[in-house]
Amino acid sequence: MIKPSPELLKLLVNQKMSLVKILKKANPSGLYEVGRPIYCPFHENYHTPAAVIYDDKDSQRLWCFSERKMYYVSDAINLLLNQNPYDIGLILWNRLTPLEQQQFVDSHSHSSFDVPVVEKTKVTKEFEEAKLKFRYGQTDCISLLKTYILNL
Ligand SMILES: [Zn+2]
């Protein structure tokens, strides 16, 4: 039996539930559609629709242009329905078979371990010189890039 972390439950909620459906539940008279401008349900938005809902690869999100903020299903559950997204996540979790639970864990565990370590490119003396020449107009961009690529 796998005990899911809060992060995992939140992911599950965000992936398995439709943001459009939850917004309609919170405000049945609202017009919510993916890919169309909508009135943001998270702030007092009356005159011009300020938000858009879109499908990301595994969840629906809402971007509010006024607030410059991203909202997920879990935010809508929390802020609009006043329910705990973790409780709902746990209900969804318990509906999964042990195999599905394992698969869900596996498909999300890599993200925390596989973060690539970005190695800084070695800055060589030649490159530094070429950069200086470029700055003073003694060489063009192509030559600079050539020096750069050759030194990678
Ligand atoms: Zn907003």
Q: What is the pLDDT of residues 114-135, one digit of tens each?
A: 445 555 555 667 767 777 777 7
| pTM exceeds 0.75 | no
Whether 9 contacts 86, CB under 8 Å? yes
Residues 2-17: tens digit of each pLDDT: 899 999 999 999 999 9
**Tokens found for residue 3:** 């005990």
**How far away, in angstroms, is 69 Cα from ligand 1 center?**
7
**How far away, in angstroms, is 32 Cα from ligand 1 center?**
14
A 10 A CB-CB count for 34 gives 14
Compare 59 and 127 and report the one with higher pLDDT: 59
**How far away, in angstroms, is 44 Cα from ligand 1 center?**
7
**How far away, in angstroms, is 17 Cα from ligand 1 center?**
20
Give the pLDDT mean for 127-152. 66
Q: In this structure, what are the phi and psi dihedrals at residue 116, rounded to the nearest 5 degrees?
A: -70, 140
Alpha carbons 39 and 45: distance in angstroms, whole number: 6
**How far away, in angstroms, is 80 Cα from ligand 1 center?**
12
Q: Tell me the residue type at 66.
A: S
Residue with tokens 């690539």: 116
Give the pLDDT mean for 77-92. 97
**How far away, in angstroms, is 91 Cα from ligand 1 center?**
29
Which candidate, 78, 83, 88, places its Cα nearest to that of 15?
A: 88
**How far away, in angstroms, is 45 Cα from ligand 1 center?**
7
